[in-house]
Amino acid sequence: MKLSSRAMKMEPSATLAVTAKAKELKRAGKPVISFGAGEPDFASPPAALEAARAAMDRGETHYTPGSGIVELREAVCGYYQDRFGLSYEPTQVLVGSGAKPLVYEAFSCILDPGDEVLLFAPAWVSYVEQIRLCDGREVVVDTAGTDYIPRLEDVRRAVTDRTRAILINTPCNPTGVVYDGDLLRGLAAIAEEHDLWIIFDEIYERLTYGGKAHENLVALVPEAKERTIVINGVSKAFAMTGWRIGYALGPKAVMDKMAALQGHLTSNACSISQWASVGALQGADDDVRTMHAAFEDRRNLIVDRLLAMPHIAFAPPEGAFYAFVDVRACLGMKHDGQSLDDDVTFCSRLLEAEYVAAVPGSAFLAPGFLRFSYANAKEEIEEGMKRFHRFLEQLRP
């Protein structure tokens, strides 16, 4: 039977594909170390678990308002007030089943067919697919040659009559770069000049290292509030990936439309998970701080190990939990007689030979790179990096 051209064009998520392959090998008894998934290995905070249990005991197991329970939307507003001094009303907050569908709903509500979104590559896997699913077009500004920082003149040059939005993701998945205030002000000025939406994905905002601070664009440029859709959620900093709760904040008119779309797709996010997230936002700050300290340790460990390796180039990450490694100098070399033609064959060979799973950079619009998620235990990082080092030492021209 015929499938739609939309379905045929869609690529599956490469990070999920690598994780699935690594899990399959693990099930087959192989000593796999996976740097694939962007998923903390910590338990979700006790405050979240307790709030979820209490919600179940109270019988909170039915549909909730489509945009989320008011208690969670109020908790999100409280969080944004405390953390960034921003004042949002609960009607300007939409709760979704993770941050991912909210990004899709945002594209869907601002793009007409053929409209363009400016995207800074390397970029998270799902943006491009979601833009295309909405019949939009990604216009990529490459940052691989500029330390992963978009140059404002390149961004300006990429704007056309069809540009509708700029997608900003800081701290960035996959590069770990954190945008500073001047850059964000410059990007906001371009958005203002050309009357563009800003989608500001700050899902890693709690995770910055080495004294680098995250800046919220709306707090920096209050005039941008009316054109900005902020994306955040509990998945990363609160180690709550499986609960599937994200939130978007923005002008009520667009939040209402996104809520209407969501109403036809998923209805509300899981009721128990929403209550768990209220618990997390109100009672897990110490846990977030403890996990952050552990991430910083892991980041320092992986940076230290990677800096000692041959053939690769690498800039220490300032945020999120990814190390993005340039393996272009290895391409064309051989491992055990097998040629490493591109980042995809590099990843497959690394997994087969050393049972180390990383994600090919081409999934992030950055062929010739690999992404290592260091959201796993230090012993695993230590062992995985030992194997990666050995793999690199075995490369031959």
* Binding-site ranges for ligand PLP (CB under 6 A): 38, 98-100, 124, 169, 173, 201, 203, 233, 235, 241, 246
- Work out the angle at residue 65's Cα, subtended by the Cα atoms of residues 62 and 68, and round it to the nearest 5 degrees: 100
Phi, psi of 334 (to 5 degrees): -120, 145
State in angstroms the smallest separation of the CB of 322 from ligand PLP: 9
Collapsing DSSP to helix, strand or coil, 207 comes out as: coil
State in angstroms the smallest separation of the CB of 231 from ligand PLP: 6
Which tokens in the block code for residue 305?
């190990």
Residues with Cβ < 8 Å from 112, sequence gap 6 or more?
135, 164
Q: Name the residue nearer to ligand PLP (CB basis): 120 or 391.
A: 120
Q: Name the residue nearer to ligand PLP (CB basis): 235 or 274.
A: 235
State in angstroms the smallest separation of the CB of 341 from ligand PLP: 28
Q: Name the residue nearer to ligand PLP (CB basis): 21 or 386.
A: 21
State in angstroms the smallest separation of the CB of 67 from ligand PLP: 17
Q: Whose CB is nearest to ligand PLP?
A: 98
**Other Cβ atoms closer than 10 A to 285:** 16
State in angstroms the smallest separation of the CB of 173 from ligand PLP: 4
Please state, in angstroms and as integers, the Cα–Cα distance from residue 363 to each residue in 38, 79, 179, 360, 396, following that order. Answer: 14, 33, 22, 6, 26
Q: Name the residue nearer to ligand PLP (CB basis): 123 or 381.
A: 123
HSE, CB side, 13 Å, CA atoms: give it for residue 335.
22
Q: Name the residue nearer to ligand PLP (CB basis): 38 or 279.
A: 38
- Separation CA 133–CA 63 (nearest Å): 28
Q: Name the residue nearer to ligand PLP (CB basis): 205 or 354.
A: 205
State in angstroms the smallest separation of the CB of 198 from ligand PLP: 15
DSSP 27-83: HTT---EE--S----SPPPHHHHHHHHHHHHHT--S---TT--HHHHHHHHHHHHHH
Dihedral sign from CA coordinates of 105, 109, 112, 116: negative
